[in-house]
Amino acid sequence: MRILAFTRESYPSNYPTSYILMHQSMALEELGHEVHYYQQDKHPLGLTDYLNSFSFDLIFLDLEFLRSNPLLRILSQYRRIEPIHIVGALYSLPAPPGPAWEVVDFTITPWKGETTSGLAAQFDLRYLPLAYSDRLHKRQSASAGSIFVGNTTGNKHKEAGVYLDELIGERSVFCIGPEFTEKYMDPFMLGSLYASSRCLPNFHYSWEKSGDCILNERFWQTARCGIPVNDYSPLMDEVFETGLLEHFCFADTRIWQNRIRNLNSGAETVHPALIQKLDDSLKEHSYKDRMKQLLDWLR
């Protein structure tokens, strides 16, 4: 398939969705598809000219883009004359209004909860979690301490301080992101950095706990590369069996922090059999699997 994906930036930097799209498009290319990027405000060709220059089979875009009426109009007209699929992705809540949903075949979302249940009653909204890239995120032997990477604006939230400030003060965790001394980690380097770390803290922000749940990309990437130390979300029950939950997910922030301290100091270790179970639990949770699912839905 030839796919046109809308993006906000040419390379992942400021927007979480561009990291997600990078991993999705790599997976689609590994499955034999061609994924073009279209950055509306910077592209040298207007959208109509670009659409007419290639025969696209699928347009894939964050539903947020469809808050723009001109774009909505172009896509509505285009799909009337060309046999094309349009799939939306709902990454941020609240969702855009009705007209955005009418131009898409269906919408995928990594969210599960009250809001998405309500939307699913009105529109064709399908749960498709985020994932890891089986090319970029691989387990290797660990050597360094614990590392937290939050490349996007998320770590400006006070929740980050609740989880991390104490640990940063104690030098129990090294943090990378806009709010920290080290500002950015290239997504092509992230996997090997994670894989070299003794443990990998992860948490979800409070706004992600108000009736709607998501498993962030870090959840998948850290578990795939190293020893994750997660907060707790009910969605984790769908991935980890109880034996894994008690070793890798901690609802209590204090226990979460102590786990990081202990893994970092070597006071606690994780048995290789448990790591094997962790790896087994992640099978079929790569972006390649997710994209296969998305394409299956189009058939």
Partner 1 sequence: MYESNRKSSIVNIYLGSMKIAYVLPMTWACGGISAPLSQVNALSTRGHDITVFAPKDGRIDWFPLAAPVQVHCEHPVEEYFDAVVYVGDTFAQHPFSSAGQKFLLLQGKDHLWTAPAKRNELLQGYSDPQYHILVVSGWLADFVHGKCGNPRISIIGNGIDINRFFPAPAPREKFRLLLEGNFPDRNKNVIAAIEIAGRVRQHFPVEVWAMARRFTSAGELVDRVFLDPPSDEIPGIYQQCDALIKTSILEGFGLPHLEAMACGCIPITYASGGVMDFCKHGENSLIAGVGNLPSLLGHVLHFLSDSDLRSQLKDGALATAKLYPWNRVADALERAFAGGIEGKS
User: Which stretch in 26-34, 107-115, 264-272, 287-295 sits in contact with partner 1 by CB under 8 A?
Assistant: 26-34
Site for partner 1 contains 29 (CB under 8 A): yes
Residues 47-106 that bind partner 1 (CB under 8 A): 49, 52-55
Return the residue of 15, 36, 245, 293 that touches partner 1, per CB under 8 A: 36
Coil/strand/helix, residue 209: coil
Shortest distance, position 222 Cβ to partner 1, whole Å: 21
Site for partner 1 contains 15 (CB under 8 A): no
Measure the N-to-C terminal CA separation of the chain; round to a whole number of Å.
Answer: 12
Strand order in the sheet with 125-127: 34-38, 2-6, 58-62, 85-89, 106-109, 125-127
Return the residue of 73, 161, 188, 265 that touches partner 1, per CB under 8 A: 188
CB proximity list for 263: less than 8 A, separation 6 or greater:
146, 198, 199, 227, 229, 269, 270
Return the residue of 8, 16, 20, 38 that touches partner 1, per CB under 8 A: 38
Instruction: Rank residues 20 and 95 by Cβ distance to partner 1 and give the closer one.
Output: 20
Which strand (E) or helix (H) includes residue 109? strand 106-109
CB proximity list for 144: less than 8 A, separation 6 or greater:
196, 197, 198
The residues binding partner 1 (CB under 8 A) are 2-3, 5, 7, 10-12, 22, 25-26, 29, 34-39, 43-45, 49, 52-55, 135, 186-189
